[in-house]
Amino acid sequence: MSVYLDNAATTKPCPEAVAAVLDAVTENFGNPSSLHRAGLNAQLAVDRARKIIADSTGADSGEIYFTSGATESNNLALRGAMGAYGKRKHKIIISSVEHASVEETASALEKQGFEVVRVSPRDDGQFYAEDFLESCDGNTCIISMMLVNNETGHILPVGETFKSVKRRFPEVITHCDCVQGYMKIPVRAGSLCADMISLSGHKVHAVKGIGVLYIKKGVRVIPEVTGGRQEKGIRSGTESVPLISAFGSAVEKYAPTISERFEKVSGLKKYLLERLAEIDGITVNSPENASPYVVNVSAGGKRSEIMLHFLEQKEIYVSSGSACSKGQKSGVLEQFGIKGRNADSAIRISMTSETTENELDAFADALREGIEKIRG
């Protein structure tokens, strides 16, 4: 039996999502733009998913735009906003621990001549709203922050920051990458004070290839993909009805149980930390107030890639940082003050509410064995 503890990389699609895909590829295969009934039925499936996702974020259906995934959503948010407002205002503010799809996009915009300010955590490893506010000025076009860090589970003070920014500079566009928070902690556009929110399907038991960008009514973005003016011209291209339906079905399933699952996973994290405390040489890198779904630990100074493959031999799957950057050293850990051997030996365990204590036992035992056996 394999133990999958890499749910921050991707999750197993739930049966409801699989059924939705199947229906849309076998029965409801029309093009939502077609005028006949087959097209209408496909459009209704898309509308249904849009409504479910809108409700789950306290948004209006008209504010939900489907994309190919959160990477595209983040690109569209940053590039689209700079396209719309960047002529007058040149500054982009991001946190220093953003996912590559924000960080690299900001870097690309920087090369085009925009100014990018990266706000780092303080020595205690935490972010503070006033540090972001300090960087803000009349020249700031957009501020982008992730809600939950994908490598450590740190929860960033997004709502507080965006509120204080909006109070002083109401015209600044606020964007939040909520990929690792969505369906795990409450994500409400209103309480985050976010103009734009990026979401991903495959992190919430839907399937890969589907994402959402929430764009608050009245906020303008210049589209990156042009064509048949689907998604109100913001994202052209025939809607992927199977993937959109799957996303909707997964959210429909998981949205009502966010707080129950949070409690359960908090218990699992507590259990995991107890088990890990029995092992010599473990340092826990995730703070206590982090999202319980992600636990980052450094394991006895053993290089994380080797530990990962050691665990893999026992069919236990974890990550050695962000799976998107295979083999690359994580600059994010360093930002959080995790350096040297601790950074080299950092592994990420990411759970779901379906994770069991037995699985965590298997992991802890294997980790202990790995620390003993691995040379170097």
| Residues known to be catalytic | 324
Q: Which of 12, 168, 309, 339 binds another protein (CB under 8 A)?
A: 309
The counts of H helices and E strands in the chain are 13, 12
Interface with another protein, residue 326, by CB under 8 A: yes
Site string for another protein, 339-358 (x = CB under 8 A): --------------------
Q: Considering the rule CB under 8 A, would residue 4 count as an interface residue with another protein?
A: no
Largest CA distance in the chain: 66
Nearer to another protein, 112 or 313 (CB): 313
Q: What share of the chain is helix, strand, coil (3-state, %, to 5)?
A: 45, 15, 40
Nearest 5°: phi and psi at 82?
-65, -35
Which part of the chain contacts another protein (CB under 8 A), choosing from 65-73, 94-102, 258-266, 303-311?
Answer: 303-311
Give least dist CB 327 to another protein, A.
Answer: 4
- Residue 315 interacts with another protein (CB under 8 A)? no
Q: How far is the CB of 342 from another protein (least distance, A)?
A: 20
Asked if 306 is part of the footprint of another protein (rule: CB under 8 A), the reply reads yes
Interacting span for another protein (CB under 8 A) from 67-75, 142-150, 218-226, 300-308 = 300-308
CA atoms lying within 13 Å on the CB side of residue 267: 10
Q: Does 374 bind another protein (CB under 8 A)?
A: yes
- Based on the shown chain and the rule CB under 8 A, indicate whether residue 229 belongs to the binding site for another protein: no
Q: Count of residues binding another protein (CB under 8 A)? A: 16
Integer Cα distance of 181 and 238 in angstroms: 28
Measured over the CA atoms of residue 318, residue 323, residue 326 and residue 330, the dihedral's sign is negative
Q: Which residues of 53-75 are buried (b: 16+ CB within 10 A; e: fewer)?
A: bbebbebeeebbbbbbbbbbbbb
Judged by CB, which is closer to another protein: 304, or 352?
304
CB 106 within 8 A of CB 129: no
Closer residue to another protein (CB): 173 or 311: 311
Closest to 195 measured CA to CA, from 51, 78, 70: 78
Q: Which of 171, 312, 357, 372 lies at the binding interface for another protein (CB under 8 A)?
A: 312
Residue 15 or 281 having the CB closest to another protein? 281
- Residue 310 in the binding site for another protein (CB under 8 A): yes
CA angle 98, 104, 110 (to 5 degrees): 110
How far lies 204's CA from each of 116, 212, 225, 262, 353, in Å? 31, 12, 25, 14, 11
Q: Could you say which residues in the range 233-292 bind another protein, by CB under 8 A?
A: none
Residue 189 CB neighbours (<10 A): 22
Segment interacting with another protein, rule: CB under 8 A, options 12-20, 164-172, 212-220, 322-330: 322-330
Nearest to 272 by CA among 362, 192, 198: 362
Q: Does 23 bind another protein (CB under 8 A)?
A: no
Give the pairing type, strands 64-67 and 211-215: antiparallel
Minimal distance, residue 311 CB to another protein, in Å? 8
Closest to another protein by CB, 311 vs 338, is 311
The contact set with another protein (CB under 8 A) reads 305-313, 326-328, 370, 374-376
